[in-house]
Amino acid sequence: MLTVLLVCLSGALLLHGYTHHLYGTTPDGEAIAEGPHNAVPAAIANGGPVIDATTGAARSVRPRAKMIAITFDDGPDPVWTPKVLDLLRDQGVKATFFVIGTEVVAHPGLARRIVAEGHQIGVHTFTHANLSTVPAWRRSLELRQSQLILAGATGVSTPLLRPPYSSEPNALTNADWAAVKHARDAGYLTVLTTQDSEDWRRPGATQVIANSMPKGAAGQVLLMHDAGGDRSQTLDALAKLIPRLKARGFAFATVSDTVGLPQPVHSAGLVERGRGMAVIGAMRLSDGTLNVITWLLYIAGALSVLRAVTTVIAAKRHARERYWSWGEPVTEPVSVIVPAYNESAGIEAAVRSLLASDYPVEVIVVDDGSTDGTADLVESLNLPGVRVIRQLNAGKPAALNTGLLASSYELVVMVDGDTVFEPDAVRMLVQPFADPSVGAVSGNAKVLNRKGLLGRWQHIEYVVGFNLDRRLFDLAECMPTVPGAVGGFRRSALQRIGGLSDVTLAEDTDLTMALCRDGWRVVYEERARAWTEAPASLGALWRQRYRWCYGTLQAMWKHRGAWVQRGQSGKLGRRGLTYLMLFQVLLPLLAPIVDVFAIYGLVFLNPVRVGLVWVGFLAVQFGMGLYAFRLDGEQAGPLWSLPLQQFVYRQLMYLVVIQSVFTALAGSRLRWQRMERYGTLSVPPAAPSTEGFP
């Protein structure tokens, strides 16, 4: 579904870019003909302005004496074309309008009026492309699409063609002639000019009249414009020119009438009209798509800036309050529950790190039906203060509930089997429980296996993304998640909400939200550091984050009632859930649109400007990263990989969110996906102190 949407979006942007940014915008007369002329037949170079489209030898015709065909290029224009038509009607003159396909799409009613009022209509290509310089495929496209648009908008078809940037026959170059022959083979009657009013220069109405006056009695094809800018001088000149030439005996007619050709414009077939209407519909859809995307880009940009500003301000304030005293020091023992399913690779390091705590703990390892000897391994260690409970495989929530029933103390710490604690982590984690309103505490989970690009990227995400958000949630009293890797709880609070639920795949998020809705405050203690083993492959990372994201969506839906409740529950709903919806659901959903539009900008717009916007976005990310790393006491070295993260890792995380949303909307159920363990855990050295950091 995402692929189909992206293909459709890319197609709409490609069509819009082609029709609005890949054609010449300068007036016809400003193009200077260059190149050799030797391939142009003498009969054409010295002939008339209308080149016949019939088979056989190339030939051209001239307007009859005392006949003038006024031609208008580059329209229709919503401002000037109606005024030109009104003037011609008042003067009783018929003219020929060479229209641009994209402008007909924008103003089909004007094209219909041109035909309805008896004027002749011709094509000026689809996008005002220079047919002498574009490849053959684009010539065919320009002519064909113009014809279809005319058929769809007006119901007529015309063989009349005015190539953009053309002038008189004697100015044709070899490249121009090749384009004329291509159009001739396609059945077009190419109409050049004999006289250029040069109204595109805006030299003043008097000069436009002077440029338009015939030197003798010979017939003329006069070039003027009804679009492309301010045409007030053209209107003023016409109002005086037509009566003056009529007084000299000149007559005005369409191109075909001045050269004595049968009426070339005829009704289009039903199929052609249908196809033309489809082209018009596609172009309008592309224009509408770009308008929607523009607004979505504004929304995405505003959300990105808002998130950056709010998280940094919150983190700065949180840093000032980090040593706030919660009350008398907490010294009561703690029960540490370690749910384990096939954790033999890292369970020993995890248990030993807990026993090395500078705080009294009992460790309860709940083996949830492991098949790799996890329970046997822990028992063989004969570590004091460690109990092993075996149960049939029932899932992580059930294992944690088993540990809760077996725990001896009111304060409980839950830790994953792939996590090791620093010696003071448990002590730091339980100090906020001095406040009786605190029901749970989130610790600071850090990536242990941070070597390689994937490890560095996850390290950056943990420090910059997760921990900055947690500081904000802490200040706003709306913490949505206490991570399973390092979290402290009151056992009585957990019992009051019925323990852990298995109805979502993110049991830690579900549990935290349930505590908030029960009136408990959940806080963040950054000094309680634990080190966890992150996925070492893109596949493993995808499975882990897909489960996290889908489970979070489940938990948000389960606790949606918090949006309309009061107290701590209302803070979770209106603050926490709104934040998650905006920045962890909506913003990632907009990310592919932003990326596709960035490519569109590089191809069709100013690549320098697009590049500067991207550099500015990256600078904001880098600044946030530097500040977050300083707050966490981390070396800033891994941030060098941040630009690469935008191209690979960020896209993966966005796709995870998008697939999770689509899965949720489809009503599909997702199986539990366990992460592969690599056995890289060891008790890390104490992190550098951040004492005194403002």
Looking at residue 361, its pLDDT comes to: 96
Domain ranges for the chain, please list them. Answer: 2-268, 298-666
685: confidence class by pLDDT, cuts 50, 70, 90: very low
Listed residue (362, 522, 321, 488) closest to 414, CA to CA: 488
The CA-atom distances, in angstroms, between 535 and each of 448, 451, 637, 674 are 11, 12, 21, 11
Structure tokens at 317: 């304030």
17-26, 296-305, 444-453, 569-578: the lowest-pLDDT one: 17-26
Residues in a beta bridge with 121:
97
Write down the mean pLDDT value for the chain: 89
In the predicted structure, residue 198 carries a pLDDT above the cut 80: yes
Considering the domain delimited by 2-268, tell me its CATH architecture.
Answer: Alpha-Beta Barrel (3.20)
Mean pLDDT of 84-107: 95
Mean pLDDT of 227-244: 95
Note if the bond before 76 is cis, omega within 30 degrees: yes
**Residues sharing a CB contact under 8 Å with residue 364, sequence separation 6 or more, in sequence order:** 335, 336, 337, 338, 386, 387, 389, 403, 406, 407
Looking at residue 232, its pLDDT comes to: 96
267-281, 312-326, 615-629: the lowest-pLDDT one: 312-326
- Name the residue with tokens 């009051």: 496
Which residues are part of the catalytic machinery?
A: 73, 225
In the predicted structure, residue 30 carries a pLDDT above the cut 70: no
331: confidence class by pLDDT, cuts 50, 70, 90: very high
CA distance 529 to 467: 12
Per-residue pLDDT reduced to its tens digit, 222-233: 999 999 889 999
Give helix then strand counts, H and E, for the chain. Answer: 26, 20
Mean pLDDT of 443-463: 90
Structure tokens at 375: 């329970």
Looking at residue 337, its pLDDT comes to: 97
Count the Cβ atoms, other than its own, within 10 Å of residue 669.
8
Fold identical between 2-268 and 298-666?
A: no
Looking at residue 690, its pLDDT comes to: 38
Contact 639, 622 (CB under 8 A): yes
Q: Which CATH number is correct for 298-666, 3.40.50.300, 3.40.30.10, 3.90.1150.10, 3.90.550.10?
A: 3.90.550.10
CA distance 329 to 184: 93
Looking at residue 694, its pLDDT comes to: 30
CA distance 160 to 190: 6
454-458, 496-500, 512-516, 681-685: the lowest-pLDDT one: 681-685
Mean pLDDT of 431-437: 94
Kindly report the pTM of this predicted structure: 0.74
Mean pLDDT of 146-155: 95
